[in-house]
Amino acid sequence: MRAPVLIILTGLALGAAACATVETPAEPGPAVVSSSAPAPVAGHDWFYHRDGQEARLVYGLAESDDLRLGLDCHEGSGRLALSAVGGPDARPEIHLEAGGETERFAARSEPSELHEGVFLTAEAAADAPVFQRFRRLGWLALWLDGERQAYAPHPESAPNIERFFAFCG
């Protein structure tokens, strides 16, 4: 009688296993922008320009002097030159955020020739955590004069962010 009991118990165990819910981990895929990600602003966008061994990624208004944030690099250098415009009392730093990751870069400050305020320039490693997060999320925020300004790309320009960082190394 042991054999039929064993067969029944084995059958019940297999049936229970078949009905059990097993959660499989999600496949890693492309970064998903959370619902808290900033929305693109009409007219403003991330613009990528490459000229030989130099490249530039700029957030601003197309075909204007309205530069909000500029990132420049030499091909494969792994280094970025940052530029931004601040108000007259702006601290000499470029404070960036991407998805909660923040960094402050000491900047040189000089009077702006195009705007009321100052022109800030700084240097940074292209692989700094804030830029790695920017690459994954697709948006970057600049803190100036106590205000957070978030810069999100329009769908057609979003690939320019990765193109720029791939070029810079």
- pTM flag (> 0.85): no
Per-residue pLDDT of the chain (169 residues; tens, 9 = 90+): 444 333 333 333 333 333 333 333 333 333 333 447 899 999 999 999 999 999 999 999 988 888 899 999 999 999 999 999 999 999 999 999 999 999 999 999 999 988 889 999 999 999 999 999 999 999 999 999 889 999 999 999 999 999 999 999 9
Q: What per-residue confidence (pLDDT) applies to 62? A: 86
d(CA 161, CA 128): 15
Q: Which amino acid makes up residue 35?
A: S
d(CA 74, CA 169): 9
Q: What per-residue confidence (pLDDT) applies to 59? A: 98
Q: What per-residue confidence (pLDDT) applies to 152? A: 97
Residue 87: half-sphere exposure toward Cβ, Cα within 13 Å: 7
Residue-range domain boundaries for the chain: 44-168
Q: What per-residue confidence (pLDDT) applies to 79? A: 98
**Encoding tokens for residue 51?**
């000229």
Enumerate the β-bridge partners of residue 75. Answer: none
Contact between 93 and 51 (Cβ < 8 Å)? no
Q: What per-residue confidence (pLDDT) applies to 149? A: 95
Q: Does domain 44-168 have CATH number 2.60.40?
A: yes
Q: What per-residue confidence (pLDDT) applies to 33? A: 38
